[in-house]
Amino acid sequence: MDLIIKVNGFINGIVWGWPMLILIIGAGLYYSVRTKFFSVTKLGYTLKNTLFKMFSKEDTGEGEVTAFQAVSTALAATVGTGNIAGVATAIAMGGPGALFWMIFAAVLGMTTKFAEVVLAVHFREKTEDGRFVGGPMYYISNGLNLKWLAKIFAFFGALAAFGIGNMTQANSITDALNTTFGLPELPVGIIVAALTAVVIIGGIKRIGQVTEILVPFMAAFYIVGGLFIILSNASQVPAAIGTIVRLAFTPAAATGGFAGSTVLLAMRYGIARGVFTNEAGLGSAPIAHAAATTDNAVRQGLWGVFEVFIDTIVIAAITGLSIVVSGAWETGLTGANLTIHAFNTAIPVYGGWIVSIGLMLFAFSTILGWEYYGERSFEYLVGPKFNVAYRLVYVPFIVVGAIGGLELIWDIADTLNALMAIPNLIGLLFLSPVVVKLTKEFFADKELSGIK
């Protein structure tokens, strides 16, 4: 057992260390340059064609779910404990400057996620029973003809879903409800498992129908609470932003319960938590986007930009700014407790409720989204006849995670989650000419893009 822990720790240090972070950021920078930073320069266009069309049912083309249901499923899996506990941990370890690097990673990550979605839709397949399937395993296989590499991605994806998307999220739910409301872990875990089973038995269509309601509600609930914290400390916002920018490039001295941090630590934790939060480059979200009803891969790719924007530049940034503006970052607390403390400074007791309820909703939605990712990965390896079996195995692990589970399994799942990124990034980089060509054609066609 000790050997397994040491081996996993060594691998985890590599896959979540500087080499992987540089590779992921490098891919985002490469795509940003190749597409002339369109995700930034055309952000207004992107939001006009996503944010303001969230509930539109006018999607054209082929697909299994609406474009918004697809992005809701992806956001359900992406917006999770990382937006609350992960951001807080980054600031606790790297100082306020970590928030700057988190947003920096997200700006580049918008283009990475865009490329993933474009490729997922472009290389997706239609199954015999009329479903649309896609993702890294399909664009690696169909685009590069590297079936062995596609299987490696699918293998890691099918396993990682049990840890990152299942047990850790279930544990976050029960821990939050137990701490805040005194609810026992086992009954809560059983209820969460039952609710999950009811949703996932209907496949992507049922998941999409649930998440298109759940995601906007949970995001609005948490965003309103976070903005209240920030506005309650409005006079401190300019100084807080100045501190964030300053400590992104200079060491943060020890103060209060904060032990101090270097610029490299701020970069490392900010970028790592940013990548973990929005999953740009990991290859998970395009699996959901591949099922979207759309007439153009680039049009669906805009939802990938929107996804990272909402997840990190809005939700995660609100968490981070709330922690800094309230001064909570100096307490020495970490994880969800740090975020709860920050919210309680402006809304005593009820601030903690907002965080706990937000954490519960975020985590439950992640369980739903990651089941779909894991199932599609498993289907790629063994075929569709075992899809129901995957669901039947997935659900009981929610209860295992709810009552504690095994920390080693969580650590291994964290490693597997990062290992998904390696084959995905290979596919992204070698298929970049496809993405660039499709993007140029889309924006050059005024009738298609709607740009006058």
Which of 115-124, 148-157, 363-372, 403-412 has the lowest average pLDDT? Answer: 403-412
Residue 59: per-residue pLDDT: 66
The band of 405, judged by pLDDT with boundaries at 50, 70 and 90, is low
Q: What's the whole-number mean pLDDT along residues 97-120? A: 96
Residue 149's pLDDT is what?
97
d(CA 237, CA 394): 44
> Are 222 and 342 spatial neighbours (Cβ–Cβ below 8 Å)?
no
What is the per-residue pLDDT for 298?
Answer: 95
User: Are the beta carbons of 136 and 283 closer than 8 angstroms?
Assistant: yes
- Give percent of the chain with pLDDT exceeding 70: 96
* DSSP helix/strand/coil, 423: helix
* Per-residue pLDDT, 45: 93
Contact (Cβ atoms closer than 8 angstroms) between residue 319 and residue 88: yes
Q: Any idea which of 265-279, 281-295, 423-437 has the lowest mean pLDDT?
A: 265-279
Please tell me which residue, 8 or 57, carries the higher pLDDT value. Answer: 8
Rounded CA-CA distance 278/28 in Å is 13
Distance CA 424, CA 422 (A): 5
205 has pLDDT over 80: yes
Alpha carbon distance 86, 354 (integer Å): 17
pLDDT at 412 over 80: no
pLDDT at 4 over 90: no
Mean pLDDT of 89-105: 93
419 CB-near residues (< 8 Å, 6+ apart): 11, 15, 156, 160
Selection from 193, 211, 182 nearest residue 80 by Cα = 211
The gap between the terminal CA atoms of the chain, to the nearest Å, is 63
Task: Indicate the pLDDT class of residue 329, thresholds 50, 70 and 90.
Answer: very high
Question: Residue 106 above 70 pLDDT?
Answer: yes
| E strand or H helix that includes residue 381 | helix 350-382
pLDDT per position as a tens digit, 342-395: 999 888 888 889 988 888 898 899 999 999 999 999 999 999 999 999 999 999
Instruction: Supply angle C-alpha 54, 49, 28, rounded to 5.
Output: 105
Specify burial of residue 236 (Cβ count, 10 A radius: 0-12, 13-18, 19+). middle
Query: Rounded to 5 degrees, what are φ and ψ at 290?
Result: -65, -20
Q: What number of other Cβ atoms are within 10 A of residue 148's Cβ?
A: 9
Phi and psi at residue 261, to the nearest 5°: -160, 160
- Of 27-31, 163-167, 267-271, the poorest mean pLDDT is in 163-167
Kindly report the CA angle at 415 between 411 and 417, in degrees rounded to 5? 115
Q: What is the pLDDT of residue 19?
A: 83
Residue 322 corresponds to which tokens in the numbers above? 């709330």
Q: Distance between CA atoms of 419 and 451, rounded to whole angstroms?
A: 39
Enter the tokens of residue 2: 């000790």
Position 325 scores a pLDDT of 94
DSSP letter string, 198-261: HHHTTHHHHHHHHHHHHHHHHHHHHHHHHHHHHHHTGGGHHHHHHHHHHTTTSPBPPBTTB--B
Report pTM: 0.93
Per 3-state DSSP, the chain is made up of helix, strand and coil in percentages (nearest 5) of: 80, 5, 20
Grade residue 198 by pLDDT with cuts at 50, 70 and 90: very high
Q: Is 202 left (phi over 0), alpha (psi -120 to 50) or beta?
A: alpha
Average pLDDT, the chain: 89
Q: pLDDT of 128-176, one tens digit each?
A: 888 999 999 999 999 999 999 999 999 999 988 987 788 888 888 888 8
Read off the DSSP letter of residue 93: H
pLDDT at residue 181, rounded to an integer: 85
| 199: CATH | 1.20.1740.10
Q: Does the pLDDT at position 321 exceed 90? A: yes
**Rounded Cα gap, residues 270 and 95, in angstroms:** 9
Closest by Cα among 390, 267, 291, 303 to 113: 303
For residue 306, give every residue at least 6 positions away whose Cβ sits within 8 Å of its Cβ, in sequence order, or none: 46, 47, 50, 51, 71
Instruction: Give me the mean pLDDT over the 209-216 stretch.
Output: 90
Q: Identify which has the larger pLDDT, 414 or 302.
A: 302
- State residue 61's pLDDT score: 81
> What pLDDT was estimated at residue 252?
87
Three-class DSSP category at 125: strand
So what's the pLDDT on residue 1? 61
**Which pLDDT value is given to residue 57?**
65
Determine the pLDDT at residue 172.
82
Let me know the angle formed at the C-alpha of 353 by 347 and 357, rounded to the nearest 5 degrees.
Answer: 140
- The total of structural domains in the chain comes to 1
Residues 414-432: what's their mean pLDDT? 89
Bigger pLDDT: 60 vs 343: 343
Domain span at 339 = 2-449
